[in-house]
Amino acid sequence: MDDKKKYRAILLAVLGVVGLVLVFVLRPERGKWWRHSGVVWATEYHIQYFADRDYSDSILEVFRRVEMSVSAFAPESTVSKINDNRSDSVDAVMAYMIERSHELSRITAGAFDPTVRPLVNAWGFGDDDMALPDTAQVDSLRRLVGIDKVKVVDGRIQKQNAGTQLDFSAIAKGFGCDEIVRMLQRNGVKDCLVEVGGEIAMSGHNSEEKLWRISIDTPAYSADSACRSSIMAFSMTDCGVATSGNYRNYHTAADGTHYGHIIDPVTGFPRQTDVLSATVCAPNCTTADALATAFMVLGLERSQAVVDAYPDVKAVFITADKSGGFKTVFSKNWPADKK
């Protein structure tokens, strides 16, 4: 081969290699943004993720698995059977829920407690219609309440009192969000946001390659989602965010008093503190969901003390100001650039 031909061959080979490298480096990521929404557990869900295929079947399967374990609204779920003493067998989801509930009840001084169910029912927020139980009724039901009266041994639940019942509504949506994010991540998804009834778990970035933008609703006594307005918004990722408030689920008594759906497990009464809504950001949405509910019971000062003790938890509280407006109160560790 003469020199000219040799150089041409080398040049072509080099160009080929450079071309191949460029194709691989600049190759657009395979996949697209998938968006699903629908209704689950009497609330709406909205899910978006970047992937090379549709995971809606797997998402519905996660919803079904969580529902058949911990939904008290499904008559044949594990929790329904345990509540009716038809079974003592605990599945993996419920064993995890009970384990987390012990921990979350401890760190919130008993303000979060899934054994509150008999009281939730008595106040008309479970299976029964609106009711205003008297102090004697509340006191007798209070004896059934306390997660320390429940333990799991070798996959079987042991209740100190057969009347003790579990209600995981304050944590199940958050757990469902976490489970969907975990399922997507196991399948290689990096960017996703999963929202179920306002509770959110997220990872990576949005379709504009920015952090996920989360907005907090203005507390307003209306169950109508069309009446929603945002009081503030912030950007986050790789965490769970949950909000609790008494303003969407409450009863109004004949004298006009509002009774919210969050019950203080210690007193047995619906609890209305200075906090109108609590939004919690935590490493996962299960924790955020439980803490947001507990913070409605604990009120501002005691909730702030809980947040201060856990550096990876942040919170925003909406309280009423003196002139009838709203005040936004941040936990001390809330990032200054997100206010």
Order the strands of the 199-203 sheet from edge to edge: 32-40, 43-51, 192-196, 199-203, 239-245, 275-282, 314-320, 326-330
Residue 202 to residue 194: CA distance in whole angstroms = 6
Could you tell me the smallest distance in angstroms from the CB atom of residue 170 to Mg ion?
4
Could you tell me the smallest distance in angstroms from the CB atom of residue 51 to ligand AMP?
29
Q: Which residues bind ligand AMP (CB under 6 A)?
A: 111-114, 116, 120, 125, 167, 169-170, 244, 249, 261-263, 265, 289, 292-293, 297
**CA-angle at 21, arms to 19 and 22, nearest 5°:** 65
Q: How far apart are the first and last CA of the chain?
A: 71
The nearer residue to Mg ion, 194 or 292, going by C-beta atoms, is 292
Determine if 293 is a binding residue for Mg ion (CB under 5 A). yes
Residue 70 to residue 238: CA distance in whole angstroms = 25
**Residue 110 interacts with which of ligand AMP, Mg ion, none, CB < 5 to 8 Å by class:** none
Determine if 170 is a binding residue for Mg ion (CB under 5 A). yes
The nearer residue to ligand AMP, 120 or 313, going by C-beta atoms, is 120
**Residue 112 interacts with which of ligand AMP, Mg ion, none, CB < 5 to 8 Å by class:** ligand AMP
DSSP strands (E only) in the chain: 32-40, 43-51, 150-153, 156-159, 192-196, 199-203, 212-217, 230-236, 239-245, 250-252, 258-260, 275-282, 314-320, 326-330
The nearer residue to Mg ion, 191 or 289, going by C-beta atoms, is 289
* Pairs from 252-255 (Cβ < 8 Å, separation ≥ 24): 253/132
Query: How many residues at the interface with Mg ion, by CB under 5 A?
Result: 4
The nearer residue to Mg ion, 44 or 88, going by C-beta atoms, is 44
Q: Which of these segments, 21-29, 40-48, 282-290, 317-325, binds Mg ion (CB under 5 A)?
A: 282-290
Contact indicator for 49, 58 with CB cutoff of 8 Å? no
Site string for Mg ion, 120-159 (x = CB under 5 A): ----------------------------------------
**Residue 265 interacts with which of Mg ion, ligand AMP, none, CB < 5 to 8 Å by class:** ligand AMP
Note the residues at the interface with Mg ion (CB under 5 A). Answer: 170, 289, 292-293
